[in-house]
Structure 1
Amino acid sequence: MDQTSIQSKHRAVKITVKGRVQGVGFRPFIFQIADQFCINGTVQNNMDGVKIFAEGAYEDISQFVSAIQSKSPRLSRIDQVEVGEIPANGYDDFRIIPSERTGKSSLVIPIDSAVCEDCLAEMRDPNNFRYRYPFINCTQCGPRYTIIDELPYDRPFTVMREFAMCPDCKKEYEDPMNRRHHAQPIACGKCGPEVSLKTINGQTIAKQKEAIEWVSNLLCDGKIVAIKGIGGYHLACDAYNEKAVRALRDRKRRPNRPLAVMAANIEVAREICQVKKQEDEILQSPEAPIVIMEKQSCSGLAESLAPGMKTLGVMLPYTPLHHLLFDEGEVKALVMTSANPSGLPILYRDKEAFSYLEGIADYVLSNNREILHPLDDSVVQLIDGHLTFLRRSRGYVPDPMTTDQPVHSVVALGSQQKNTFAIGRHEQIFIGPHIGEMEHLEVVEHFQHEFNHLMKWMGIEPDKIAIDMHPGYMTGELAETMNASIISVQHHHAHMVSCMEDNGLNDATFGIILDGTGYGEDGHIWGFELLYGDASSYERLAHLNYSHLPGNERAIKEPWRNATAMLIDSFGAEGREWALRLFPNKIYEIEVIAHMLEKGVNSPLAGTCGRLFDAVSAILDICQVSTYDGEAAIKLSEQMIEAESIQSYPYGLLESKDGSIALDFAPALKQIVQDRLSGVPKMEIVQRFHETVVTMCVESMVSLSQRNPSFKKHVVLSGGSFHNPFLLKEIAGRLKKRNFKVYTHKQVPCNDGGLSLGQLIVAANKK
């Protein structure tokens, strides 16, 4: 057949596109390229993705299919395109037809996205009918997941069903050539949501443009304002105003934890932080997360924003309202921290915001667009040129991961801290939003609300439920209420498999898992683990030697207690004397701790990297009492400055009863105390301590590999301690020099926020 015959030959196909293809302007995109290539047919959202019936000349159909993948909208992500030949139906045009709400669901739920440049330009154009409208959006930006009630993603199944479109909005919505065609949150000042400024008692002061002007002035005057965003309420104040920042800390009872800052634009971000090129791109991405960066030395920001820290979490405005607040006023950077009481979920219901924030916020800038699914801001950091997640939430949730593991109908409930859950459906894994600490009833209810909603959207019933093996975790109680097989997964095995799945690894690997707390197979607290295994099983090859935690949780919150116990456990009476010299105002308490250890009262055994960092932080008087999770370890790591020729402290290797190697830190601990008491500069001790942890891990891994020559030299690194940039960079780098293939996390956090992924894969492989 010649080329002319091929080009003129008529062809009819059914095209199914799967991935993130709803809520991103995909149907109008298909309509436009159908017009470009003279294609007739239909495009439709359904529970399986986007379904297209296309008829046209042979070559036109080929170009049409190619363009679907090469020219798709910026917020879309195509996972699969299926093309099948079908009989011609004789279409005489191309149409977007109503969604089909039946069939097997493999939808990717659309994510919330930062406002795009096109919408910002219109919002700032006095001649545009959406001039200064704080809810402007299009198919390429705005709220999605947070406003969806049911699937597929159509306006009647979102909170926007409460707002009838005016003629101007409806005209754009129905125009397939307009970028707002089927933009479900479409609205304007005539027909859409509106903002209102209220006193903390609920009295309305101003609305719309006037309200925004008021708030800008209030922030300039040092007031604290609760502002409703896409995923919930933030507390905002002038980040340059020390008095305002201290007032916010006092009112929120958050004495030391770093506060996130929203900079007016990228230029301001560069004034307050040392912004690298990759960080610049991440800040200005559609996901718009908080990015942890090095602070500038003379930024002028309030000193109490991040006390004792050399880094700062910064984000850029990601809603039209944020931009308007900066456009209106003189403030260049705002504290923008989640408006939740300590330990509770982010506030997102208006009624709760007013009751909880009494005595904290001076005013509330609210709006009448309901939030159905609250989302915290995502937090990321660039380490050694790679993006790492500290918290995966807004902008990324609930975007799925694809897998070749048998995960369908398997769910995982995550950990007690930094909780997330995971749901397996066909070849997809959906990881839920950041839930937080599962210690309060409100958090558990929040977990259940989000889990049940996402399960309904998935359209599956669980066969297997994975939980942490800790007997006291709330997730275990929740699993008992579900009609499925419960599988307990060891904490650090889940960490290892999480990193394996994050890198598409199925074969057995080594794992170095460094974190704060995890219930071990022997009933003790693990957290400094060298493992080998895969999703089905693992071996514990080496670990940190155990010491007692007097008072358990109290020793975690008061690291000086942990340090005291380590000293007494390792050195007896001499260790007690050192503790008395290091903590002279704790004489009575040290005697009590010594008695507790002698009698074995409420003092579980632990060997974790987090507790090791805590103890050294307390010994160096960097942090003796933690006011937030991980404070002692974080502040110690912030003191680390890389230098050449750092010498490790001595350490030992002991054979454990179970055949594993126990890493004995006692020799190093002794030298650290002697250096501290003899006046060696803290910086030198911090550097040598970090070097010791790195050396212990690398040399032990080399030794274990030599002992087991049949094991592949592949290593995954996981656990919350790998948020420490020096540990991650140096352990990975030195292992690579020893010819190991090293894998780190990419799509989920190395902390417990990524644990549910590993739990799910382990459970999926249980027979």
Structure 2
Amino acid sequence: MSVPGPTSAAEPGRLRLRVRGAVQGVGFRPYVHGLATRHRLGGFVANDADGVVIEVEGDGIAEFVEALPRQTPPLARIDDIAVERVAAMSSRDFCIGASIGGRVTTRIVPDAATCEACLAELFDPGSRFHLYPFVNCTHCGPRFTIAERLPYDRATTAMKRFPLCEACRQDYENPLGRRFHAEAISCPCCGPRLSHGIDDIAATLAAGGIVAIKGLGGYQLLCDARDEQAVQRLRARKQRDGKPFAVMLASVDAASEVAEIDLTERALLEHVARPIVLSKSRHHLAPSVAPGLARIGVMLPVAPLHHLLFHALRAHVCKTAWALVCTSANPSGEPLLTDDDEAQATLHDIADLIVTHDRDIVIRADDSVVAIVAGAPSFIRRARGYVPEPIRLARAVPPMLAVGAHLKATVTVTRGDEAFVSQHLGDLDTTQAIRFFEETVQHLTSILDVAPVAIAHDMHPDMASTRFAHGRGLPTLSVQHHHAHAASVMAEHGLTGPALALVLDGYGYGSDGGAWGGELLSCDGAGFRRLGHLAPLKMPGGDRAAREPWRMAAAVLHDLDRGTEIGTRFDDQSQARHMPMLLDRADGPVTTSAGRLFDAVAGLLGVGAVQSYEGEAAMKLEALVRETTTLDHGWTIADGVLSLRPLLAHLASDRLDVAEAAGLFHGTLAAACVDWITMASRATGIGTLVLSGGCFVNAHLSAQIVRGCRAAGFDALLPRRLPPNDGGLSLGQAWAAGLHLVRNENLSGEIV
């Protein structure tokens, strides 16, 4: 960015600056107004389709342009500033102009947690926002979840139904204030209202009740996390057997009473996005909060309502820091609820009190979940607080829509060199989930003003996302599941290839129609080659084996020629005595899945015979690890196939300590993968490596593989801005398909 010189010494001229990035709804126009006024410039600032347009003239232009990117509001993000000279207009005053329409190329920022200034007003008896649960300003509050379209103005948000009172209007129009053009501004006189009082909510929780509240991105269910009976009631009513609950606490100090919070985790907890952070549990809460797990998800208050609730709870019952279970308010397997009438009808059998308000949620967004993996933050689920921040691509690609897979669904829309990945949508198992998926596609393409030229999808022919892609009347491109996992990490890190990719995953439809899941690939972005895979294991019962780890353990015993032990080792399973015959069949399904390998080991070690939620056995196996060790000669590699048969034979012994065995499995698998990668790197000459797939949520496995790769002389790149699980898949589809179109100009087919 440079400032064009004046046309003459006597005529300073006028500049037009076009600012692109996250610059709408963050107080950027008030900031520019103040900056221009301080430099005594004339002109205007306005939202437009590209972001913000500024015109200035006066003697302080150069100083203004230099200062502009240096002192921006907390939520603003500048991508670039284009400067041009325009005809002088002799403007003496500076104003905020009306928004300018056109094809949208700007973006909106994510929702932001209550800022310190609003929090102070919330508890200040002299403030007109005292105890008002919707206080916000240009530095905080709802954004993405209330936005219908861009440019981001009050008339295009859910706040359009609330006319400003005189006091709010004065704040809105005061260029010296924090609420100057704060589109979500409101107060008790003119804004949204709760259906119940804070004291009523606190009393219900203190009495052991369950409360549903309407949050920023959807309804949430709350109960006392120290009350075992309350937590069990919530599990029973929500039909959520063992899946862990997140816990909200009033402060980092309070969170430190229930979890071991290090400096990195503290920074994550206090980040304006307010994600759920997985931290080592001190096991001071009700056992049913996170049964059998070593880590617990903790979060801090997001909205003013949460702060008010903790304040009321402390006044109602004084106890060691209050901890509240905070989970999405939806029946098991359904999307997050946002509609008030639907919430009343659906939650009356779950919640003892349903608290709503009259501000609509335009687009639902669940809480984000983050953990420290291999020394840095990694997403488990990316949603509220981070969406719709884009991923910057290494090059521009045609406008694409990518629709992900089936589990942990997301969609991605590309616009030039930006990729916008949606919030976590859940699993596409129900009609309601598919409707949410379709709503998200419509909202994301609309708010970005993008008309896709093609749709990228998974190779699996029977997924709801695949059927959606083929029903839109646009050209389609299929991307193999694990190629998409690898391409997602490559896109995030700006790689076009070539790269090696180790993808350790649960399931993906292979190019040969098989059940893949432990893959070593060579990728160039648009295409891939399968270099190797984990040794196949039988899956007795097909998909049922993914829900019942004892079946995968039985497959291991059968492979070790110890099938006669199945009936006695799993005598509590009614099908165990028939399993050897099933496994003897030559036509049974097989898999190379790393996820099923974890299940097999969990079954062998007695960690869990049956899973109540996806990944339960692997998570409980990870929780047992005290330290990782390596079994000498615990694996073999032949023709690209990695076999852990020696390790599995050792683990099949019933004489091992379970925790030691869990550490031995993690350490040996990691060492085997590093050996596998090193051999492939030597054979191919490729020194760049990406790691992806759901198994890389496992902190022990990820850290060991990254450490081993560094010791071998090359870095391993993990996903950081998206989850390694299927939540990142749509980005990889979009990037691979986009590069395919750039290189081939072919608008349909299969990417191989």
TM-score, normalised by the number of residues in structure 2? 0.95
Q: Are the aligned partners of 2:505 and 2:725 in contact in 1 as well (CA < 8 Å)? A: yes
* Secondary structure in structure 1 of the residue aligned to 2:690: strand
Amino acid at match of 2:282: Q
> In the alignment, which residue of structure 1 is the partner of 2:317?
none
Aligned pair count reads 731
1:389: Cα distance to partner? 0.3
Indicate whether 1:716 and 2:690 are aligned: yes
Q: Spell out the pairing of 1:36-75 with structure 2 (5 A cutoff).
A: 36-57=38-59, 60-75=60-75
> In the alignment, which residue of structure 1 is the partner of 2:395?
405
Q: Are the aligned partners of 2:107 and 2:448 in contact in 1 as well (CA < 8 Å)? A: no
Q: Are the aligned partners of 1:406 and 1:765 in contact in 2 as well (CA < 8 Å)? A: no
1:7: Cα distance to partner? 9.1
Task: Choose 23-32 or 558-567, whichever is displaced more.
Answer: 558-567
* Secondary structure in structure 2 of the residue aligned to 1:329: helix
* Secondary structure in structure 2 of the residue aligned to 1:100: coil
1:648: Cα distance to partner? 4.6
> In the alignment, which residue of structure 2 is the partner of 1:200?
none
> In the alignment, which residue of structure 2 is the partner of 1:208?
none
Q: Deviations over 1:104-159 (max 9, x none)?
A: 32111221000100000011000111100000000000001111122211111111
Q: Spell out the pairing of 1:652-691 with structure 2 (5 A cutoff).
A: 652-655=636-639, 661-674=640-653, 677=654, 679-691=655-667
> In the alignment, which residue of structure 2 is the partner of 1:170?
169
Amino acid at match of 1:33: L
> In the alignment, which residue of structure 1 is the partner of 2:547?
557
Indicate whether 1:84 and 2:84 are aligned: yes
Distance change in 2, residues 1:196/1:649 (3 Å): farther
Distance between the aligned counterparts of 1:456 and 1:535, measured in 2? 28
* Secondary structure in structure 2 of the residue aligned to 1:748: coil
Distance between the aligned counterparts of 2:131 and 2:396, measured in 1? 50
Distance change in 2, residues 1:244/1:7 (3 Å): farther
1:303: Cα distance to partner? 1.4
Distance between the aligned counterparts of 1:734 and 1:7, measured in 2? 64
Indicate whether 1:443 and 2:433 are aligned: yes
Q: 2:606 aligns with which of 603, 614, 621?
A: 621
Q: Are the aligned partners of 2:394 and 2:491 in contact in 1 as well (CA < 8 Å)? A: no
Q: Deviations over 1:19-49 (max 9, x none)?
A: 0000100000000000111111010101111
Distance between the aligned counterparts of 2:637 and 2:47, measured in 1? 61
Q: Spell out the pairing of 1:341-740 with structure 2 (5 A cutoff).
A: 341-568=331-558, 570-571=559-560, 574-586=561-573, 588-599=574-585, 603-643=588-628, 646-648=630-632, 650-655=634-639, 661-674=640-653, 677=654, 679-708=655-684, 711-740=685-714
TM-score, normalised by the number of residues in structure 1? 0.93
Indicate whether 1:302 and 2:273 are aligned: no
> In the alignment, which residue of structure 1 is the partner of 2:184?
185
Task: Choose 576-585 or 518-527, whichever is displaced more.
Answer: 576-585
Task: Choose 544-553 or 261-270, whichever is displaced more.
Answer: 544-553
> In the alignment, which residue of structure 2 is the partner of 1:279?
265
> In the alignment, which residue of structure 1 is the partner of 2:749?
none
Distance between the aligned counterparts of 2:531 and 2:330, measured in 1? 42
Distance between the aligned counterparts of 1:373 and 1:171, measured in 2? 30
Indicate whether 1:314 and 2:314 are aligned: no
Q: 1:747 aligns with which of 721, 729, 737?
A: 721
Distance between the aligned counterparts of 1:177 and 1:410, measured in 2? 42
Distance between the aligned counterparts of 1:747 and 1:505, measured in 2? 15
Amino acid at match of 2:323: A
Q: Deviations over 1:508-547 (max 9, x none)?
A: 0111111111111121111111111211221111111112
Q: Spell out the pairing of 1:251-270 with structure 2 (5 A cutoff).
A: 251-270=237-256
Amino acid at match of 1:153: Y
Q: Deviations over 1:325-347 (max 9, x none)?
A: 00111361100000111111001
* Secondary structure in structure 2 of the residue aligned to 1:305: coil
Q: Deviations over 1:415-456 (max 9, x none)?
A: 100000000112211111111101111111001011112112
Distance between the aligned counterparts of 1:552 and 1:30, measured in 2? 61
* Secondary structure in structure 2 of the residue aligned to 1:255: coil
Distance between the aligned counterparts of 2:324 and 2:209, measured in 1? 11
* Secondary structure in structure 2 of the residue aligned to 1:426: strand
Distance between the aligned counterparts of 2:398 and 2:52, measured in 1? 21
Indicate whether 1:24 and 2:26 are aligned: yes
Distance between the aligned counterparts of 1:347 and 1:428, measured in 2? 30
Amino acid at match of 2:562: G
1:475: Cα distance to partner? 1.0
Q: Are the aligned partners of 1:12 and 1:87 in contact in 2 as well (CA < 8 Å)? A: yes
Q: Spell out the pairing of 1:219-258 with structure 2 (5 A cutoff).
A: 219-258=205-244
Amino acid at match of 1:608: S
Q: Are the aligned partners of 1:122 and 1:128 in contact in 2 as well (CA < 8 Å)? A: yes
Indicate whether 1:214 and 2:214 are aligned: no
Distance between the aligned counterparts of 1:66 and 1:311, measured in 2? 47
Q: Are the aligned partners of 1:503 and 1:746 in contact in 2 as well (CA < 8 Å)? A: no
Distance between the aligned counterparts of 2:129 and 2:526, measured in 1? 56
> In the alignment, which residue of structure 1 is the partner of 2:275?
289
* Secondary structure in structure 2 of the residue aligned to 1:484: coil
* Secondary structure in structure 1 of the residue aligned to 2:395: coil
> In the alignment, which residue of structure 2 is the partner of 1:203?
none
> In the alignment, which residue of structure 1 is the partner of 2:312?
328
Distance change in 2, residues 1:577/1:410 (3 Å): same
Amino acid at match of 2:669: V
Amino acid at match of 1:623: G
Amino acid at match of 1:491: H
1:8: Cα distance to partner? 7.5
Distance change in 2, residues 1:265/1:609 (3 Å): same
Distance between the aligned counterparts of 2:565 and 2:708, measured in 1? 34
Name stretches of at least 5 consecutive residues in structure 2 with no aligned partner.
Answer: 315-320, 745-752
Q: Are the aligned partners of 1:271 and 1:296 in contact in 2 as well (CA < 8 Å)? A: yes
Aligned sequence identity (%): 39
* Secondary structure in structure 1 of the residue aligned to 2:355: strand
Distance between the aligned counterparts of 1:457 and 1:161, measured in 2? 17
Distance between the aligned counterparts of 1:8 and 1:737, measured in 2? 65
Q: Are the aligned partners of 1:648 and 1:688 in contact in 2 as well (CA < 8 Å)? A: no
RMSD of Structure 2 on Structure 1 (CA) = 1.7
Distance change in 2, residues 1:7/1:515 (3 Å): farther
Q: Are the aligned partners of 2:132 and 2:187 in contact in 1 as well (CA < 8 Å)? A: yes
> In the alignment, which residue of structure 2 is the partner of 1:201?
none
Amino acid at match of 2:80: Q
Distance between the aligned counterparts of 2:431 and 2:524, measured in 1? 35
Distance between the aligned counterparts of 1:401 and 1:680, measured in 2? 46
Q: Are the aligned partners of 1:513 and 1:717 in contact in 2 as well (CA < 8 Å)? A: yes
Q: Deviations over 1:248-279 (max 9, x none)?
A: 11111212111000001111011111111111
1:293: Cα distance to partner? 0.3
Distance between the aligned counterparts of 2:182 and 2:398, measured in 1? 31
Amino acid at match of 1:311: R
Distance change in 2, residues 1:55/1:654 (3 Å): same
1:4: Cα distance to partner? 14
